[in-house]
């Protein structure tokens, strides 16, 4: 039976109607009794004394029957009231239990069972001597991308369990969501460093999830009452600022908040706000740096380099705004614009007579893990009318290390369509020869750090020559980046480097100037 039916079953009439009903019944019954009993006595009994005796009995009988009827009516009414009261009490108790369950659910993280953000604000009313450790995992998004969200959830539970085991009795751990936790401790300020180092030690051993053993690291931002804030909101904000600072500089480390840390964060916030509208406002521009083929001394191609000229902030270096674009996923539409613009540019170069020139475009791992990335590249080639063999896509070495399994198939599909794959910034990371041999890489771009090692006296042999020889042995074309001196040029010629790019020949040029430059260089 539903609650609605329950309510109908014990619904009580209006008090006035119920009272009128009882009074009417009593009046009718009393009048009928008096009328008929008196007539019966007058007919049957003529003796006055006997008549008076029976009249007295009749009166007492009426009183007893009246009392019995009142008892029944009052008993039935109070019984119904008691039943109703019990039902209401049971419903009220059930509502209280449900309310407590809902409250517990509202203040608990459903995945880990830890107190959540609401519980943090509910429980932490006394901030005296409190410090907040804002904990965040390094590169957790790649775990979800490569292993799936189910694996990511199991990893979060495993890390939460390990964090709980490291808590001191006076400390509390809260999960804010995603891969973020807050630990509240009342350790003295001069012992915070010792405490956070102990906390970070949980990442020294791999986490076991099913059959997998996953190594993870994390960073911690720290704020302390009252020097870093007098409210919970201020402490959280400043701990987050410290966390952001350390994550941009190191992994598996920590930072204690300082006022100076807020300045770059505000600058970043301004950049993110303006970056969201930069594409629509036409604030981006591509510059093209020539790649010179050493044997023929001709321009073999151009590398497209993105530039952002913000009306409010001025010219922003790519290493500042590209990471923000990747974090906010803005790199996807920006990357499509870069690819389309670069393809259109090289098409105009072909139409002017240099029909063998290629264009190299850098792609981000955020673009590559998009499920329709290959299709979008092919669509842009079709829209611009560029033959796929004149497009070279550059991926970085660090990208391969982090997402090899996720992007290898896509790179192979692109190669099958005739697009060249280049490995950019080789030498910055720790790629193995096994990676290079498995992936469809046709071009190896040597990082400027290797070129800078080339000494003034060619009798000294830096590692650069060995790298060139290795790449040539694998059948790859080698492009040296950042060539700035003739000594470096002669060295690269000696080791049969295929192409070079750098300020020795040309800096990155706007499209109009690049078109004129190639005519002069040719």
What pLDDT, on a 0 to 100 scale, did the predictor assign at position 10?
45
Residue 505's region, left for phi above 0, alpha for psi from -120 to 50, else beta, is: alpha
**pLDDT(140) > 80:** yes
Residues 6+ apart with CB under 8 A from 452: 482
Mean pLDDT (the chain, rounded): 86
307 and 286 Cβ atoms separated by less than 8 Å: yes
Q: Into which CATH architecture does domain 117-257 fall?
A: 2-Layer Sandwich (3.30)
What token pair was written down for 213? Answer: 């053993």
pLDDT tops 50 at residue 471: yes
Alpha carbon distance 54, 47 (integer Å): 11
Choice between 56 and 12, residue whose per-residue pLDDT is larger: 56
For helices 140-147 and 149-165, give the axis angle rounded to 10 degrees: 140
For residue 114, pLDDT beyond 90: yes
Q: Is the pLDDT of residue 477 over 60?
A: yes
- Cα within 13 Å of Cα(355), Cβ side: 3
Q: Look at residue 22 and tell me whether its pLDDT is greater than 80.
A: no
Count of Cβ atoms closer than 10 Å to residue 254 Cβ: 23
- The CA distance from 478 to 485, in Å, is 18
Q: Looking at residues 367-382, what average pLDDT do you find? A: 93
* pLDDT number for residue 299: 92
152, 144 Cβ separation under 8 angstroms: yes
Residue showing tokens 């902030």? 313
Residues in the chain: 522
pLDDT tens digits for 229-253? 999 999 999 999 999 889 888 889 9
CB 209 within 8 A of CB 151: yes
Question: Helix or strand or coil: residue 298?
Answer: coil
Residue-level pLDDT at 80:
83
Extents of the domains making up the chain: 3-106, 117-257, 280-521
Paired tokens of 40: 């019966």
Tell me the C-alpha distance between 483 and 445, whole Å: 12
Between 1 and 273, the higher pLDDT residue: 273
Whether 288 and 294 have beta carbons less than 8 Å apart is answered as no
CA separation, residue 140 to residues 145, 237, 367, 405 (Å): 9, 21, 17, 16
- The mean pLDDT of 429-456, rounded to a whole number, is 75
Tell me the two tokens of residue 481.
Answer: 């980046």
- Integer Cα distance of 279 and 321 in angstroms: 13
Is pLDDT above 50 for 50?
yes
| Domain spanning 280-521, CATH architecture | Alpha-Beta Barrel (3.20)
438 contacts 408 by C-beta, under 8 angstroms:
yes
DSSP summary character for residue 283 = -
User: What's the pLDDT at 246?
Assistant: 92
pLDDT at 458 over 60: no
CA atoms of 242 and 222, how far apart (whole Å):
6
pLDDT at position 522 is 59
Specify the higher pLDDT residue, 39 or 508: 508
Q: How confident is residue 262, by pLDDT bands cut at 50, 70 and 90?
A: confident
pLDDT confidence of residue 11: 53
Q: Burial level of 114, CB count in 10 A (0-12/13-18/19+)?
A: buried
For residues 356 and 455, the model is more confident at 356
The confidence band for 430, taking pLDDT boundaries of 50, 70 and 90, is: very low
Whole-angstrom Cα distance, residue 240 to residue 222? 8
Please state whether beta strands 131-137 and 218-224 pair in parallel, antiparallel, or not at all (unpaired).
antiparallel
For the segment 282-299, the average pLDDT, to the nearest whole number, is 94
Residue 445: closest CA among 415, 466, 414, 467:
467
What does the pLDDT read at residue 436? 64
435-457 average pLDDT score: 80
Cβ neighbour number for residue 356 with a 10 Å cutoff: 12
CA distances from 502 to 281, 357, 484, 499 (A): 31, 17, 6, 10
Find all residues with CB under 8 Å of 181, minimum gap 6, and list them. 114, 134, 135, 160, 163, 173, 174, 175
Q: Tell me the H-state helices in 166-216.
A: 192-200
- Would you say residue 393 has pLDDT above 90? yes
> What is the predicted pLDDT for the residue at 459?
54
Query: Comparing C-alpha atoms, which of 185, 188, 191 is closest to residue 167?
Result: 185
Q: What is the pLDDT of residue 292?
A: 94
Q: Quick one: which H or E segment has residue 135?
A: strand 131-137
Residue 396: cis peptide before it, omega within 30 degrees of 0: no
In this structure, the strands spanning 212-214 and 180-185 are unpaired
Average pLDDT, integer, range 73-78: 80
Higher pLDDT: 407 or 514? It is 514
Please report which confidence band the pLDDT of residue 183 belongs to, taking 50, 70 and 90 as the band edges. very high
């Amino acid at each position: 039976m539903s609650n609605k039916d329950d309510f109908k079953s014990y619904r009580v009439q209006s008090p006035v109607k119920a009272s009128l009903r009882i009074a009417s019944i009593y009046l009718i019954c009393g009048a009928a009794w008096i009328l008929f009993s008196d007539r019966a006595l007058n007919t049957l009994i003529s003796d006055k004394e006997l008549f008076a005796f029976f009249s007295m009995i009749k009166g007492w009988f009426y009183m007893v029957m009246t009392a019995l009827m009142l008892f029944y009516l009052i008993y039935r009414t109070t019984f119904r009231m008691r039943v109703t009261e019990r039902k209401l009490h049971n419903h009220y108790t059930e509502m209280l239990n449900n309310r407590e369950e809902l409250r517990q659910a509202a203040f608990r993280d459903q995945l880990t069972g830890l107190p959540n953000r609401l519980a943090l604000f509910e429980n932490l009313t006394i901030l005296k001597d409190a410090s907040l450790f804002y904990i965040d995992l390094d590169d957790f998004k790649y775990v979800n991308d490569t292993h799936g969200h189910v694996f990511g959830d199991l990893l979060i539970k495993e890390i939460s369990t390990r964090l709980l085991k490291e808590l001191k009795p006076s400390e509390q751990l809260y999960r804010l969501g995603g891969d973020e936790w807050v630990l509240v401790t009342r350790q003295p300020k001069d012992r915070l460093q010792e405490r956070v180092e102990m906390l970070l030690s949980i990442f020294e051993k791999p986490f076991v999830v099913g059959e997998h053993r996953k190594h993870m690291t994390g960073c911690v931002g720290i704020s302390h009452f009252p020097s870093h804030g007098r409210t919970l909101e201020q402490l959280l904000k400043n701990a987050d600022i410290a966390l952001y600072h350390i994550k941009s500089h190191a992994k598996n480390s920590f930072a204690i908040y300082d006022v100076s840390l807020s300045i770059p964060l505000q600058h970043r916030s301004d950049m993110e706000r303006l970056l969201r509208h930069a594409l629509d406002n036409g604030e981006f521009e591509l510059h093209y740096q020539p790649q010179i083929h050493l044997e023929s001394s001709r321009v073999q191609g151009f590398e497209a380099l993105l530039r952002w000229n913000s009306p409010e902030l001025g010219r922003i270096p790519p290493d500042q705004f590209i990471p923000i674009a990747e974090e906010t996923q803005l790199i996807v539409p920006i990357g499509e614009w870069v690819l389309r613009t670069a393809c259109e540019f090289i098409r105009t170069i072909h139409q002017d007579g240099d029909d063998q020139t290629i264009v190299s475009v850098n792609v981000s791992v955020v673009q590559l893990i998009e499920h329709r990335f290959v299709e979008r590249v092919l669509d842009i080639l079709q829209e611009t009318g560029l033959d796929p063999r004149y497009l070279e896509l550059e991926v970085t070495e660090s990208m391969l290390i982090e997402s090899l399994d996720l992007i290898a198939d896509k790179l192979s599909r692109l190669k099958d369509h005739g697009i060249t794959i280049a490995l950019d910034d080789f030498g910055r990371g720790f790629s193995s020869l096994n990676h290079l041999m498995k992936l469809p890489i046709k071009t190896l771009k040597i990082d400027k750090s290797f070129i800078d090692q080339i000494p003034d006296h060619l009798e000294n042999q830096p590692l650069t020559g060995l790298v060139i020889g290795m790449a040539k042995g694998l059948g790859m074309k080698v492009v040296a980046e950042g060539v700035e001196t003739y000594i470096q040029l002669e060295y690269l010629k000696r080791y049969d480097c295929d192409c070079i790019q750098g300020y020795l020949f040309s800096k990155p040029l706007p499209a109009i100037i690049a078109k004129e430059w190639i005519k002069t260089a040719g």
